[in-house]
Amino acid sequence: MNEVTDTADRNVGRTIRIGTRGSRLAMAQTGTIAAMLQSAGCRVELVPISTPGDRSSAPIAEIGVGVFTSAVREALLEGQVDVAVHSYKDLPTAPEPGIALAAVSKREDPRDALVARDGLTLGELPPGSRVGTGSPRRMAQLRALGLGLDVVPIRGNIDTRLGKVTSGELDAVVLARAGLARTDRLGLVTEVLDPIQMVPAPAQGALAVETRADDVDTEHLLHTVVDDAATRVAVTAERALLAALEAGCSAPVGALAEVVEDLNGEGAVVERLSMVGVAATAVEGDAVQMLRASATADTSEANKLGRMLAAELLDLGAGAVSR
């Protein structure tokens, strides 16, 4: 009997309460985790939780990291739910006392996507086109491309943002491809952006699944049924870079790591972790330059790799950028 089958047998009939934001995207994301737990014999109850981020219309840069996750974590710690599911990129990098990261699910495509009027790609948008995004990282990288676009901050759920293109208020919006995939909106994408142009946010496309640190049975269940080792090691490196940069600059940051096959000194195929990181730095006037660093390391050195690239970006001049 394998570990997954054994875990399923031990959880037949168990009800797991899963806390999540109530947005369409969050519910869709949580539904993928619920389906995995159901396949392990558990009954599942989804518990929507309203967060301060859902109730605020202020820009993300003003209301801060963690505003979409704090209420869900509070419900977990208070015993209202057994499991919390988050977009991993929304979680603060500092650990939360009393909470364990039990699993990181297999990652969706982490790239950013463009939805533009008339089926246009980024390079086809004429100078002066209004392009909306809620992410300082995307804003900085779009401006650094030097295409003459008018990049404007926006808030709202996926449908609200897409509606700004349909109505003509904006010429295009940039969103995470993963969110569009999870809400069946991929047919609207006019271009999936190459990470050479737009490096994604650290942990974009990955889901973090948490439980209480003292709930070892649920933690074991989630790790066995949900956790994807390759995704976990990649996002560990990306978030290590983010954590190191948060201490040294306030610039928008992007990072993308992936497990790749390589040859060792004896010519045998081994798995390695390849990573690129970017951070913005201000140049003359309002212009922005994206600094880039890349490296490869053993998969066991994910934290070290992220910190090393962060140090290189700081040495290159990553720093505060007006948002």
The residues annotated as belonging to the active site are: 90
How far apart are the C-alpha atoms of 121 and 133, rounded to whole Å?
16
Q: Are 174 and 138 in contact (CB under 8 A)?
A: yes
Detail the DSSP E strand segments found in the chain: 15-21, 43-49, 83-87, 99-104, 112-116, 130-133, 150-153, 172-176, 191-192, 207-212, 253-263, 269-282, 288-298
Exposure b/e, 192-229, CB count within 10 A at least 16 = b: ebebebbbbbbbbbbbbbbbbbebeebbbbbbbbbbbe
CB-based contact 100:213 (threshold 8 Å): yes
- The helix (run of H) or strand (run of E) holding residue 224 is helix 216-225
Give the DSSP letter string of 152-215.
EE--S-HHHHHHHHHTTS-SEEEEEHHHHHHTT-GGG-SEEPPTTT-PPPTTTT-EEEEEETT-
Write down how long the chain is.
323
Q: How far is CA 322 from the centre of its chain?
A: 22
Structure tokens at 91: 């979680």
Give helix 24-39 / helix 158-166 axis angle, nearest 10°. Answer: 140
> What would the two tokens of residue 34 be?
């619920």
If you write DSSP's letter for every residue of 162-176 in order, what string do you get? HHHHHTTS-SEEEEE
Name 16's bridge partners: 44
